[in-house]
Amino acid sequence: MHPITSTSASSAAAMNSSPHWQQQLLKADISRQSASPHHHARAAALAARSATSSAIAIQDPTKGGAIHVPRMAANGLHVSNSGSSLKKQADLSSDESDSSGKDGQSWTTIDMGGLGLKNIAKELYRYTFLTSLFINHNALTSLASDIVQLRHLTILDVSGNKLNSLPPELGMLTSLKELFLFDNNLVTLPPELGTLYQLETLGIEGNPMQENLRQLIQKEGTQALVAFLRDSCPVPLPPPEREWITIEPDLGNREGEDEPEAPAESFNVLSYNILCDRMATPQMYGYTPSWALSWEYRKEFILQEVMSYGADICCMQEVASEQFEEYFLHHLSQQDYEGIFSPKTRARTMREEERKLVDGCAIFYKSSKYSLVERQLVEFNQAALRRPDFKRTEDMFNRVMTKDEVAVIALLENKESGSRLIVANVHVHWDPEFRDVKLVQVAMLMEELEKIGERFAKYPAKLDVKEGYPPAPHYNNGNKIPTILCGDFNSMPGSGVYEFLSKGKLKGDHEDFINHVYGDYTANGLEHGQAMKSSYAHIGELPFTNYTPHFEGNLDYIWYNSNALAVTGLLGEVDSAYIDKVVGFPNAHFPSDHICILSEFRVKHPKDGRQRTGFGSANRLNGK
Active site residues: 488
Among 104, 110, 142, CA closest to 126: 110
The gap from C-alpha 139 to its chain's centroid, in whole angstroms, comes to 40
**Length in residues, the chain:** 624
Report residue 37: phi and psi, to 5°: -55, 135
Taking each helix axis from N to C end, the angle separating 19-32 and 211-220, rounded to the nearest 10 degrees, works out to 110
Is 446 in a helix, a strand, or coil?
helix
Instruction: Please compute, for residue 197, the number of CA atoms within 13 A of its CA located in the half-sphere on the CB side.
Output: 18
Beta-bridge partners for 319: 360
Name, in order, each residue with C-beta under 8 angstroms of 162's C-beta and a sequence gap of 6 or more. Answer: 1, 2, 139, 140, 141, 184, 185
Name, in order, each residue with C-beta under 8 angstroms of 517's C-beta and a sequence gap of 6 or more. Answer: 393, 394, 395
Q: Measuring CA to CA, how many Å separate 517 from each of 398, 480, 598?
A: 11, 33, 36
Write the DSSP symbol of residue 459.
S
* H or E segment and range at residue 557: strand 556-561
**Residue 228 and residue 194 in contact, taking contact as beta carbons nearer than 8 Å:** yes
Report residue 571: phi and psi, to 5°: -80, 125
Examine residue 586 and say whether the peptide bond preceding it is cis (omega within 30 degrees of 0).
Answer: yes
* H or E segment and range at residue 25: helix 19-32
- Angle subtended at Cα 463 by Cα 458 and Cα 469, rounded to the nearest 5 degrees: 110
Among 188, 181, 190, 180, CA closest to 162: 181
Among 113, 156, 153, CA closest to 136: 113
Is 30 in a helix, a strand, or coil?
helix
Among 515, 377, 380, 374, CA closest to 442: 380
Is 437 in a helix, a strand, or coil?
helix
**Residue 361 and residue 409 in contact, taking contact as beta carbons nearer than 8 Å:** no
Q: How far apart are CA 591 and CA 543, in angstroms?
A: 19
Taking each helix axis from N to C end, the angle separating 19-32 and 7-15, rounded to the nearest 10 degrees, works out to 160
Report residue 266: phi and psi, to 5°: -130, 160
Among 448, 281, 270, CA closest to 375: 448
Q: How far apart are CA 18 and CA 241, in angstroms?
A: 47
**Residue 226 and residue 261 in contact, taking contact as beta carbons nearer than 8 Å:** no
Is 3 in a helix, a strand, or coil?
coil
Is 619 in a helix, a strand, or coil?
helix
Is 141 in a helix, a strand, or coil?
coil
